[in-house]
Amino acid sequence: MNNRTKKLVFTAMFAVINYVAFTYGKITIPITAGTSTAIHIANAIVVLSAWFLGPIYGGLAGAIGLSLADVFDPRYIASAPKTFLLKFIIGVVAGLVAKHYNLTQKTNRKEIITICATSAIAGLGLNVLLDPIVGYFYRNYILGIPQEAAKIIATWVAGSTAINAVICVFVSVILYLALYKSFLPRLPKE
């Protein structure tokens, strides 16, 4: 199997893992009638995808998997385009930081933890800033939700996004430490 095919297969696999992590591993928090947010660890899988597959393929795996999770859940279907954009950004940012510091070439545990944490904080931290802002404009201008309601929803989303980010930094680092020795040799080379 050539590198490109192998990369696409792993991207599809991570998209499925992202889908499953969100669909079956979330705690839904209702905000208003027909609107909700969720506490989940799926963003940790987006970050993990970017570390193993690189910024673009990892970002696509997260974006595709979590957008499909939104599409198949009536509570989140309207958020799918926003989800695609934001999860792709998480993956690209986390992947670029990890690539800059050569994460996949490191063997020192302390160095790996530092790079993973820095990379995860960069991607997820940007998401903490962007999700409420992009969500506000998306809900208000695209979905037509009144401005005051969109502000309230953005406030709730900001809180859950921050909680998710903190949890996902730890989860992504732990998962990488558990998997990298056996997983990295099987991945296609860039």
* CATH number for the domain harbouring residue 59: 1.10.1760.20
The domain total for the chain is 1
Domain region containing 69: 3-186
Residue 90's nearest CA partner among 58, 65, 68 is 58
Rounded Cα distance between 52 and 34, Å, is 36
Only one residue has tokens 């960069």, namely 122
Residue 45's nearest CA partner among 178, 176, 157 is 176
For residue 60, pLDDT over 90 is answered with yes
For residue 139, pLDDT over 90 is answered with no
Whether the Cβ atoms of residue 52 and residue 9 lie closer than 8 Å to each other: no
First vs last Cα of the chain: how many Å apart? 14
The per-residue pLDDT for range 74-126, each reduced to its tens digit, is 878 888 999 999 999 999 999 999 999 999 999 999 999 999 999 999 999 99
Question: Binning pLDDT at 50, 70 and 90, where does residue 190 land?
Answer: low
pLDDT value of position 178: 96
Question: Binning pLDDT at 50, 70 and 90, where does residue 35 land?
Answer: low
pLDDT value of position 113: 97
Strand ranges (E), the chain: 26-32, 35-40
Only one residue has tokens 């499909």, namely 68
Rounded Cα distance between 152 and 128, Å, is 16
For residue 31, pLDDT over 70 is answered with no
For the segment 135-162, the average pLDDT, to the nearest whole number, is 87
For residue 68, pLDDT over 60 is answered with yes
pTM over 0.85: yes
What's the mean per-residue pLDDT of the chain? 91
Rounded Cα distance between 54 and 36, Å, is 31
- Torsion, Cα of 46, 50, 56, 61 (10° steps): -40
